[in-house]
Structure 1
Amino acid sequence: MNVGKWLSLVLAVILFEFLGYRRIQASFTPTDNYLIVCGSSQNVTFQGRTFVPDFLHSSISLKAKRSYYVASSNSSVPSSIFRSARIFSSIASYEFDIKQRGRHWIRLYFFPVVVPKSGHNLISAPITVVTDGFVLLNNFTFENYNGSFLFKEFAINVTSVTLSLTFVPWNDLVSFVNAIEVVSIPDSVLPDQALALNRSTPISGLSEFGMETVYRLNMGGPLISAQNDTLGRTWENDSKYLRVNGSALNVSIDPASIKYTASITEETAPNWVYATAETMGDANVSNMNFNITWVFPVNPNFRYFVRAHFCDISSQSLYALVFNLYLNDDIAAASLDLSTLTSNLNVPYYMDFISSSSAGSDTLTVSIGPDSVTDITNATLSGLEIMKISNEAGSLDGVSSVKNLLPLSSLKKNKIWIIIGSLVGAVIALVFIGFCCCCLLMRKPKANHQGHPLHGNSQTMTKMSMASKKSGTASCISSASSSFGQFFSLQEILDATNKFDESLLLGVGGFGRVYRGMLEDGTNCAVKRGNSRSEQGLAEFMTEIEMLSKLRHRHLVSLIGYCDERSETILVYEYMANGPLRSHLYGTNFPSLTWKQRLDICIGAARGLHYLHTFAARSIIHRDVKTTNILLDENFVAKVSDFGLSKTGPALDQTHVSTAVKGSFGYLDPEYFRRQQLTEKSDVYSFGVVLMEVLCARSALNPVLPREQVNIAEWAMSWHKKGMLNQIMDSNLVGKLNPASLKKYGETAEKCLAEHGTERPSMGDVLWNLEYALQLEETSSVLTEPDDNSMNHIPAIRLTPLESFDNSVTMTNGGNSGTDCNAEDSLVNPCGR
């Protein structure tokens, strides 16, 4: 490192310490916050935080046949956190009570303290650690390790009320641990999706994987310790990872100048990360048209989650910095213009990617450099996080799964007792069940109870008993909230679904499994049972109820009620006999839909979305429009469903809502994905994908197809520009539709799929044009084509007026106190059905 580099770094450190980078007062208080020092007899303070001895904490338990602790006063111990250890000579587990499901930090500390008079050498002790679903460490020892201590940080999605950390000694040796952290993470910090570079498309489902932090860098700035990060993270300086020493110039500003947004807060990264950066500037190189490159050793057998942090702190004005970001040899972000993305200087921004190591090597490289299409010779990077993603075996260290690493010997020893215990338990259970059945038969009224066979012989709670149970069982929703619809007891739900009989399963979605059911009054319904392992949790459950309780429209699925009892989150909807639209397009043996049916269905869905967007002063943005969320009733009337991700739209004085990206890839608005700015036009883009899916009868994303065909929106638009949509449409439609109708339909989809939201039509305009396409299909005469520059004025056709809506519609106890029916709706489905 040259002298200038040293001086700038020293000055940054002095500024960091001297000018009062005080310990951040965390705006986030973790619900679960276990700081455990293992084997110690007293509390230990480490990095400004207090660690409690493992045997004193009331919310954790240690299950171990043989364990002991050791303490050391050796001055060579790197920190007080390492002066004690818990040593295991047999398999042992720490069990933590979890109050908030979701991502948690699991941080493990190891240092091979000297164990006097025991004969155990902890330097050669193999360390294997597993959770309920992931392998964290596999047979690690200090023998071939260069460091004096080991610190590991993992991010694991905890989906149950307990978390187990199991330590597995091998070959008659011991295992050990010095300290453990289990801390809940805000939902917004780690996403469920990122951009996959090898496909140039975003992928979702990251919550199903475990992650391990391998690098976390503060570019151009000093070390940030855990006590100065609201989430207890450590950020190191980047200089030792630079490929060319001295190729980057440090810049910094006052951390107080950083302008956080609603979607990027101090939990995303501390302000000192964004207040310092590496830039090209006047770097000590002969050719300014170069790239700054960082090189990171990685395991080539794993994929990596990469988050790049940006903040334009070097420009004197907006639009003066455009550059490229590269991961390995792939361009991750081209012509990156932070001014366009953030609309101001000193505003943080980040991008997430999925990447692997460089081809044929064990390194991952990150580079920034000038964009060749501009004359700007500068680039900037503020921070970088690289996290290893668990493999197919659920491992972050090797290829063995949890099941393979847990020893079988302890199971074999207890096999006989397990069999005996199981038999005894089964006999007792049978006797108890028989006794209960006899009691029920004796109490059964003589009068025949006529009900649906789904009800079985279970007695259903009376209205009075149901009301009395509300206050005692509903954990999430106040019993006073009658506007949320009818409350169902869990027993009523079990009766309606024959105890969630798998033969009644209708499908499986992001929230959970959906069953067909019949209520006590004979009403058919769909019962959506929340899955505790789902990425969609209580927030989505509440959103769905709150949204649907105030919405009533013929083209929106109606919420009948809910159940929130015994840790079950259940929603009860009207039953849609013909299921999701997608099932009638591909993947099943259902009869093919005619072109007119498809247009009717698209028009119905557009009406539902148009209602959402114009319902009140602040619109409702669905945020997950796709063919599986458009359901069809017995008459093939389309209704929009699944409002768990819905969001209230911007206020009158705003243009967008800043929020974390959520939705389904393949349907996701690219502008929303890039800028995290949500508008009604994001729904319009998703609906454009639906239109292409309806026309072509194929999925929105199909990674097994050739690259140019993977994304239906890109593929279909390329054919539309050639005027050849008829070449890729569903073969069942060939020769069975009016070409003029297809042309209008294609033009509508094209406008929906415009790159920028301002270029897309409103849902009202989309609806108008789809109705026009339908009338073109129905008429046999040649009609005057509309002006290409007009989306909402076609003089040759008289259309049904757009629906008017009563904003005072409310629902009490499942009833409708207002109406949204217009003349057309009342003919098909009278109000008050």
Structure 2
Amino acid sequence: MVKMKLVKWVPLILAVVLLGFIGHGSHASFTPVDNYLIACGSSKNVTFLGHTFVPDLVQSSISLKSQGNSIVATSNSSAPFAVYQSARVFPGTASYKFGIEQEGRHWVRLYFYPLPDSGHNLTSASMTVITENFVLLNNFSFKNYNGSYMFKEYAINVTSDSLTVTFIPSNNSVAFINAIEVVSVPDELIPDQALALSPSGPFSGLSEFALETVYRLNMGGPLLTAENDTLGRTWENDEKYLHVNSSAVSVSVSPATIQYRAAATPQIGPNWVYATAQTMGNSNVANSNFNITWVFPVDPNFTYFVRYHFCDIMSVSMNTLVFNLYINSDLAFGSLDLSTLTGYLAAPYYKDFVSNSSADTDTLTISVGPDTRADFINALLNGLEIMKINNEARSLDGISPVETLLVSQPSKKNKMGIIIGSVVGASAALVFISLCYCFLVARRSKTPQQGSTWLPLPLYGNSQTMTKMSTTSQKSGTASCISLASSNLGRLFMFQEIMDATNKFDESLLLGVGGFGRVYKGTLEDGTKVAVKRGNPRSEQGLAEFRTEIEMLSKLRHRHLVSLIGYCDERSEMILVYEYMANGPLRSHLYGTDLPPLSWKQRLEICIGAARGLHYLHTGAAQSIIHRDVKTTNILLDENFVAKVADFGLSKAGPAIDQTHVSTAVKGSFGYLDPEYFRRQQLTEKSDVYSFGVVLMEVLCTRPALNPVLPREQVNIAEWAMSWQKKGMLDQIMDSNLAGKVNPTSLKKFGETAEKCLAEHGVDRPSMGDVLWNLEYALQLEETSSALTEPEDNSTNHIPGIPLTPLEPFDNSLSMIDGVNSGTDADAEDAATSAVFSQLVNPRGR
């Protein structure tokens, strides 16, 4: 197969080589206003891929500032390309400042090669690279890099008359750079908006973000370099990323046949990209539903801009090629008909999306597959671009914001002055803090405790003593305790801010009542809507759960976990502030209210979202987190019905690597409790899986987990639904609103998933990752209900015909704490609504 493809490419490869000599052929010309190609440390011009790089100190519109003298390093033999034959080495922080004539997107391209004869060990050098607003590289070192040289490409929106690129040595090392490009980009290349997935909706404001090119592929074609692209881009071949090589066959036409219409321009992609494609390996197989899939390793902590490039170079008539696009397990675009969208054959077209990596692995999966309703069963993809979007810290590498990295390194002359100034400043600060302490102590002694029976959380203390507070008898009124503020656990709200946000706890803003206290809707000064949970002094839940909730949520950030904004512990109050979830708890959309019923697809998407959140808890750190109170009132829905898991007051750090379980007293809600955990008091992640199985049945049947007024065999939903599932008659007990609206194969997969979750013994239950894949497959079956049939292998958890590797937990350094005390919870499920900690929203309050 590979040899045949290589033979097929020979004419194309020759044409590409020829194009390097005769120019850019059919490409429309683009002349960048700003066009800096800099050979750092070089004394002469350097030619690379048809472009000329000039020395870094010959242009008046470029300035170099360096702490200490920079060092020039050169090599004529070992460098892989001419552009890497010189470098400038910086012992201290250094900056290149480029004059910008035209604001807008610019390529910032960086070339690195650790020259061996530079006078420094550049291979072990560690450095950080930033612009005024973004972190490009953070503590990068070739010691940890799998390659001899490195090329990085970024797209940065410049909004001033200059752009500064700063190199910062780290770990007492040096920084270096071989070459830099700063080049204008056409305005239309990267839009301000794209379609986001999971949840689906517009993603606006892309112009405010920096992007890093991670992958740029020429599907089914050879390598294209800057010589063959008017914007100087490099397009590599896609074969090494194909999940199954035999699933794709490359096709090609002459680049001259490509007709650029309104949908795309040569700047979006060169005609050499659109002239080749990967298509389905065999379009006449018995199972015509397989997809062509590419798998890309990515950093799971970032969001990605994904651009598909299409050009129908295989059809002989209009409207015959119709296919679907997928990103991870999400249907990105269904029934794509290129000829209808462009009005022509062989006309380039592209689609933009924003997506995260897979919820279970550190990969991004791209697929195209046939729409089986079409007459011509096939699919194709011509090109693909994947670009990383900066995170909230405005970083493309790690979580350190620019402000913490852009720190000038003092010279030796100034060190003594800085030391003296630091001592004087520290002394003054110490005096000031002492005065503030005396003032606050005096003020607190005058503040009435409003009859509260709780011990106050003082403003100062030792972080090692907080857990002692949870075990010290509160009856005595003596205990060591700390300030939560000292642990960097989120925003510390003043009580007056909370009063203002909730209009003095106006009852008209009451969202619900839970076991910990009452929940109010609030609005912060900046207009942010929040949910404010005010602890009830008479509640059985107290400081330990309060602390656990804060510690857990302050260290967890995931799109399917409710975010903790901050807390207030002033005036003996225990108040938690969360993001506002406009559509409340899942339970309120299932029964007990007048809200419209959810569709089957909505229910699947909600279950998938909750499963993603739980899977992240189980696998997002070296030591997992067990939620311990999974139920429909702890799955909240935002304004777009995106599900987020809430209530971490009972959460527990999972077993260590050398352990199988955590021995602890039983806590949770009856009806959802894992029977094995209840009997043996041994907690595992599979306890959450059991509880989630109850949730699945509750979603399907729209009735409480426990209902004592029903006949005995129907009281427990898990036992009742399982009896119907084993008879294959789950459709007889599902919500009547779903009758005739559910694809039987989707329902079957859903029922099988719930059945596995509800297995008597934990060892027989799937992981949350497996549950997630099965639910996503059930959703895919529902979305393609008119064409898909149930495969013979019921264990299939993915797109038919494409075997997926087992899920591996991704590494994410989260520090875990064990802040939950032993205890028992003997309340019934209905009563548990008010007895289980941190009930964000209760239907009684809606």
The alignment's TM-score, normalised by the length of structure 1, stands at 0.49
Q: State the structure with bigger RCO (CA 8 A, min sep 6), 1 or 2.
A: 2
The alignment's TM-score, normalised by the length of structure 2, stands at 0.48
